[in-house]
Structure 1
Amino acid sequence: MENAVDQSTQSSMRHVIYDHFGERDVLQVVSSEIPGLENGQVLIRVHGAGLNPIDWKTRKGLGFAARQIEDSLPWTPGYDVAGEVVAVAGDVTTLVPGDRVMGMIGFPARGGGYAQFAVAGADELAIVPEELDLVAAGALPLAALTAWQALFEVAKLESGQKILIHAGAGGVGHFAVQFALERGAHVIATASASNRDFLAELGVHEVIDYRSSDVADECYGLDVVLDLVGGETGKRSLHTLGEHGVLVTIPTVTADEIISAAEGLGLRAHGMTVRPDVFHLDEIAELVEDGDVKVHIERAFPLDQVADAHELLEAGHVRGKLVLDCR
């Protein structure tokens, strides 16, 4: 089994860990041996590692992923990677060293993305289109899969339907608006005034400034609402739905109360948790290749600035995505 990088050039790697839950200061950059491979796995030289809200919530000990890892700290966070395959296990026939790949890896218990090298299952990885830079590709999988599964598996969005997408300029949101437009939907998005032009360039039909307008006054009879904010925003948005409409809410912490509120109004609402799906990722890669979907990176941080990256991530209001440049 081929399970290491050429040891004459490199045997150790730098990666991020935390050994207890807490604020940003628990994040450390350390050196360790490059991991070996088990059957079905490949070793990736990571170029980009995407940052997602689940990363800071888990670091603080919040949510279901934290329960999965609390007994196995220290732990390397990161579920999104893109880079170059440098080694494959002996039973892997689908990928070879040199392949440009991306994937949502090690979810939820293994993680490992915030690193110069990461181990992934061959079945977690899609080929990165030549049009997409590998650092930017690292920011795509989890957010794009969340948008895709929410729209097409849960909401079953169809051409001609009207959809409201909250936080349309954010990580999941900017993918969701592009997927919905590509599917032929009429897309309304909420955003701050500073993101109006960004969303207009993506092709959004209507942009509502959530700071100055109430969606329940602006929208009615909608087929789908994608709620990426949760809480009162999600509950208020139920009033925009048509009789047969559906709201999909992503933040897990308020999902139950929004679903209960929907039932009280005789409407449909669902929560969801993203899952790795390489077939969906291949479809998304095809849209990127065709120029129908773009990945917007607000900022790339070197590995050493991971705490600064988490500070920006945790504050919210990121346009598109943040990524660690692990090269």
Structure 2
Amino acid sequence: MKKVSFAEFGGPDVLRLIDAEEPHAGPGRIRIAVRAAGVNPVDWRVREGQVLGAHPTVLPSGVGLDAAGVVDEVGEGVEGVEIGDRVFGEGADTYAEFAVLSAWARMPEGLSFEEAAGYPSVVETALRVIGQVGVRPGETLLVSGASGGVGSAVLQIARDRGIAVIGTGGAANQDYLRGLGALATTYGEGWVERVRGLGRVDAALDLAGSGVIPELVALTGDPGKVITIADLGAPEFGVRFSGVAGSVPDALAEAVDLIERGRLHIPVEKSYALTEAAQAHADSRAGHTRGRRVVVVRSDA
């Protein structure tokens, strides 16, 4: 099968499309014929060797956590899923023609494979950080870097829970953020004053890693009310870096519920072929994403 791999840590240029042995579903796992794989910032952080503590990596290594596809092997002890089912979920080495998933759910009706591949890690992360930051219904959450995949999920989940959101993003994404129910403002010079003008901030999330941790602490008045998923230096300011996933099966179940109730939709900004994985990583690292980026593995996705 075809698979994206890297044999050394480095930039996007270390990625190679190789011929590899097909993986197989062990106990408690399923294998899918991958239709599409989600592109997440953690993918290029792993490739660069940034997060070896949370993601031990043995070289050569595959790439990717999220995928959507069709079940073609069911491991021992697995119930409730059959060969031919359309599923989305999380596993390993998903930028490939076949991948083994450790957590999955049936795709909601009406969702394409490309769309579905963009949900697993993003929704798990969004649910996790909303819980960790301790924001409650009736309070206001500030989201720095709100227009990407996690931000898009946070805004919609918060709205569903009765939490008001202020979102910062680029000038081109202001209408997008407002469409997701946020009070929106741009980042850049004067952004703290603009946020203060929109109201009180009870808690804050840093999703972009753009060096704003001190300002978020000042806006909330408490480093314990700030969580980051992108700034590795945040602990210097007493702010928690959230990098360890919670229950992916629970997150997928909640994602299905939200999608089926029409409360969650994350658009696909751009799709890439397997041969374009390096460009997908470069674009993801550059930021300014509106929604999700995905790698399309099969043309029937």
Q: TM-score, normalised by structure 1?
A: 0.85
The one-letter code matched in structure 2 to 1:82 is A
2:148 aligned residue? 170
Which residue of the other structure, out of 185, 192, 198, is the alignment partner of 1:215?
192
Question: What is the DSSP-based 3-state SS (H/G/I as helix, E as strand, rest coil) of the residue aligned with 1:20?
Answer: coil
Of 313-322 and 229-238, deviating more is 229-238
CA offset at residue 15 of structure 1?
A: 0.9
The one-letter code matched in structure 2 to 1:192 is G
CA offset at residue 229 of structure 1?
A: 2.8
Q: Give matches, 1:269-308, under 5 Å.
A: 269-275=239-245, 276-308=247-279
CA offset at residue 147 of structure 1?
A: 0.9
Question: What is the DSSP-based 3-state SS (H/G/I as helix, E as strand, rest coil) of the residue aligned with 2:20?
Answer: strand
1:148 aligned residue? 127
CA offset at residue 252 of structure 1?
A: 4.8
Distance 1:87 1:316 in 2: 36
CA offset at residue 36 of structure 1?
A: 2.4
Which residue of the other structure, out of 13, 23, 27, is the alignment partner of 1:39?
27
The one-letter code matched in structure 1 to 2:262 is G
Distance 1:232 1:315 in 2: 15
1:114 aligned residue? 95
Of 221-230 and 17-26, deviating more is 221-230
1:323 aligned residue? 294
Q: Bigger radius of gyration, 1 or 2?
A: 1
Name structure 1 gaps, 5 residues minimum. 1-12, 106-110, 260-268
* Cα displacement string for residues 16-65 of structure 1 (whole angstroms, at most 9, x for unaligned residues): 01111112111111122322232222110111111111111211222236
CA offset at residue 299 of structure 1?
A: 0.2
1:185 aligned residue? 163
Question: What is the DSSP-based 3-state SS (H/G/I as helix, E as strand, rest coil) of the residue aligned with 2:227?
Answer: strand
Question: What is the DSSP-based 3-state SS (H/G/I as helix, E as strand, rest coil) of the residue aligned with 2:50?
Answer: coil
Question: What is the DSSP-based 3-state SS (H/G/I as helix, E as strand, rest coil) of the residue aligned with 1:304?
Answer: helix
Distance 2:126 2:287 in 1: 18
Which residue of the other structure, out of 34, 45, 48, is the alignment partner of 2:36?
48
Distance 2:165 2:114 in 1: 29
Question: Do the aligned residues in 1 keep the contact of 2:223 with 2:237 (CA within 8 Å)?
Answer: no
1:3 aligned residue? none
Which residue of the other structure, out of 59, 63, 80, is the alignment partner of 2:66?
80
Name structure 2 gaps, 5 residues minimum. none
CA 1:249 to 1:324, structure 2 compared with 1: closer, same or farther past 3 Å? same
CA 1:244 to 1:223, structure 2 compared with 1: closer, same or farther past 3 Å? farther
The one-letter code matched in structure 2 to 1:138 is A
Distance 1:255 1:243 in 2: 13
Q: TM-score, normalised by structure 2?
A: 0.92
Question: Do the aligned residues in 1 keep the contact of 2:104 with 2:249 (CA within 8 Å)?
Answer: yes
Of 187-196 and 227-236, deviating more is 227-236
1:63 aligned residue? 51
Distance 2:9 2:279 in 1: 17
Which residue of the other structure, out of 236, 240, 249, is the alignment partner of 2:219?
240
Identity %: 33
Question: What is the DSSP-based 3-state SS (H/G/I as helix, E as strand, rest coil) of the residue aligned with 1:248?
Answer: strand
Question: Do the aligned residues in 1 keep the contact of 2:268 with 2:293 (CA within 8 Å)?
Answer: yes
Question: What is the DSSP-based 3-state SS (H/G/I as helix, E as strand, rest coil) of the residue aligned with 1:39?
Answer: coil
Q: Give matches, 1:126-141, under 5 Å.
A: 126-141=105-120
Question: Do the aligned residues in 2 keep the contact of 1:103 with 1:126 (CA within 8 Å)?
Answer: yes
Question: What is the DSSP-based 3-state SS (H/G/I as helix, E as strand, rest coil) of the residue aligned with 1:225?
Answer: strand
The one-letter code matched in structure 2 to 1:235 is P
Question: Do the aligned residues in 1 keep the contact of 2:185 with 2:194 (CA within 8 Å)?
Answer: no
Question: Do the aligned residues in 2 keep the contact of 1:165 with 1:189 (CA within 8 Å)?
Answer: yes
Which residue of the other structure, out of 49, 72, 90, is the alignment partner of 1:104?
90
Question: What is the DSSP-based 3-state SS (H/G/I as helix, E as strand, rest coil) of the residue aligned with 2:295?
Answer: strand
CA 1:252 to 1:200, structure 2 compared with 1: closer, same or farther past 3 Å? closer
Question: Do the aligned residues in 2 keep the contact of 1:230 with 1:254 (CA within 8 Å)?
Answer: no
Q: In the alignment, does 2:285 pair up with 1:314?
A: yes
CA 1:239 to 1:83, structure 2 compared with 1: closer, same or farther past 3 Å? same
Question: Do the aligned residues in 2 keep the contact of 1:127 with 1:282 (CA within 8 Å)?
Answer: no
CA offset at residue 221 of structure 1?
A: 3.7
Distance 2:49 2:251 in 1: 30
* Cα displacement string for residues 159-185 of structure 1 (whole angstroms, at most 9, x for unaligned residues): 111111111111211111111111111
Distance 2:132 2:40 in 1: 21
CA offset at residue 321 of structure 1?
A: 1.1
Q: In the alignment, does 2:6 pair up with 1:18?
A: yes
Question: What is the DSSP-based 3-state SS (H/G/I as helix, E as strand, rest coil) of the residue aligned with 1:30?
Answer: strand
